[in-house]
Amino acid sequence: MMFFTPLLSLCVFVINSFPLWSVYLYIQEEAVYGLTEVLRDEIRNARLVANPGCYPTSIQLPLVPLIKAKLIKLSNIIIDAKSGVTGAGRGAKEANLYTEIAEGIHAYGIKGHRHVPEVEQGLSEAAESKVTISFTPNLICMKRGMQSTMFVEMAPGVTVSDLYQHLKSTYEGEEFVKLLNGSNVPHTRHVVGSNYCFMNVFEDRIPGRAIIISVIDNLVKGASGQAVQNLNLMMGLPENMGLQYQPLFP
């Protein structure tokens, strides 16, 4: 990496080889993590940006603001996430064959998914303290789309309404992150083919706990769309340029 960076003007990494926690990016002091709505100013002035993974995007967009505001506890964060088959890549793997994945759902990466260190680092930086999560990803029989369901414990005296209002104020005016009204549940159909993240907060039946649900298109906001959004920022272009169309493949 060191030998070619002087030749680059602007670069956004959208590959698994260079996540935030990678030692290769830490060699480059100017590298910035590309969670656009959270680190917009840093991205705007960056030369190197590490684009977040799909699961980290869907998890951190709701949790980072709540952690920064100390509205939720740093312990007992449980995340159940589900992704379309494209979330597992395009490799010719037996587990991704139609006859293997059709009409079913299965968990994978149970002992340690590759995105866990990325999520934990982002949340830990927001908390200025070590954060660990319980994370189970699941592959479901659809092409694209991702839902993350987060179970969190609220800080003393905090209500679900407080969480909702804080997320509302955080993302008010944001084009691509939307907090749904009332009891509306985010659905992957709401965001497929788009750069949007839809989310909402619900009261858990267990006192003191809340459930947060977010949905994205893993191939757009979780990958190429956020990369374009970041590159637009870096080049001084309108942030939504090229992101208002829906050319879908697959």
Q: Which is more confident, 121 or 5?
A: 121
CATH at 26: 3.40.50.720
* Catalytic residue from among 11, 54, 141, 197: 54
Q: Do 59 and 15 fall within a single domain?
A: no
**Integer angstrom CA distances of residue 182 from 35, 58, 161, 191, 196:** 26, 20, 10, 18, 19
Tell me which residue of 60, 67, 77 sits closest to 197, measured CA to CA.
Answer: 60
The band of 154, judged by pLDDT with boundaries at 50, 70 and 90, is very high
- The confidence score (pLDDT) of residue 2 equals 38
| 186-245 tens-digit pLDDT | 999 999 999 999 999 999 999 999 999 999 999 999 999 999 999 999 999 999 999 987
Share of residues in the chain with pLDDT > 90 (%): 70
Domain that holds residue 83: 54-219
d(CA 243, CA 221) in angstroms, rounded, equals 10
pTM of the model: 0.89
Q: Do 44 and 130 fall within a single domain?
A: no
The band of 5, judged by pLDDT with boundaries at 50, 70 and 90, is very low
| Residue 54 known to be catalytic | yes
Q: Do 70 and 47 fall within a single domain?
A: no
Helix (H, G, I), strand (E, B) or coil at 196: coil
Tell me which residue of 89, 64, 35 sits closest to 150, measured CA to CA.
Answer: 64
Q: Do 201 and 141 fall within a single domain?
A: yes
- Give yes or no for residue 25 having a pLDDT over 50: no
Q: Do 110 and 205 fall within a single domain?
A: yes
Average pLDDT in the 53-80 region? Answer: 98
